[in-house]
Amino acid sequence: MPALKFVRSVGESFRASSGLEPRLLDGLRVTAAQPGKVNFELDIKKEHTNRLNILHGGTIASMVDLGGSLAVASKGLYATGVSTDLSVTYLSSGGKIGDMIKAEASCDKFGKTLAFTSIRFMNSKDELFARGSHTKYVALAWKDPNNITEELSPKLAKSG
């Protein structure tokens, strides 16, 4: 199974099982995935904004959380672990209702116990407006029977 299909299936499980994602991030679209990297986008709607009618920082923080999880999924873990640390740096406004934001999430370090991810957010002008990091405890996630880590790991070069 290619990474994009797998990441989308993990995203659907978040929508089906979580209380937050189907309410806040239902419109989030995974546009590309390869092992260690996921791209997604979201059209800003009223529910994503603050009282100034611009993108709410909590929406961005939620996307750091989900984006980090999807980056871990891109490495083949179906159960993406639990958060141990999450941070967001807000550089400027992400936009207003009707704007589309894009994000790229990377799994920077993937171990047996912890996974470290980072996320970059771009506005409609392709300007960086926020960045985040998300650390996941993944030790128990390795036991999920739905994992495809072997399939998504780099193939060893044949010696010859």
**What are the structural domain ranges in the chain?**
3-147
Q: 13-66, pLDDT tens digit by residue? A: 999 988 888 788 889 999 999 999 999 999 999 999 999 999 999 999 999 999
pLDDT of residue 159: 43
| Neighbour order of strands in the sheet with 128-137 | 29-34, 37-43, 100-110, 114-122, 128-137, 82-90
Dist. CA 69–CA 77, nearest whole Å: 9
Q: How far is CA 52 from the centre of its chain?
A: 26
Dist. CA 8–CA 2, nearest whole Å: 10
What's the whole-number average pLDDT of the chain? 93
pLDDT of residue 158: 45
CATH number of 3-147: 3.10.129.10
Sign of CA dihedral 134, 58, 93, 24: positive
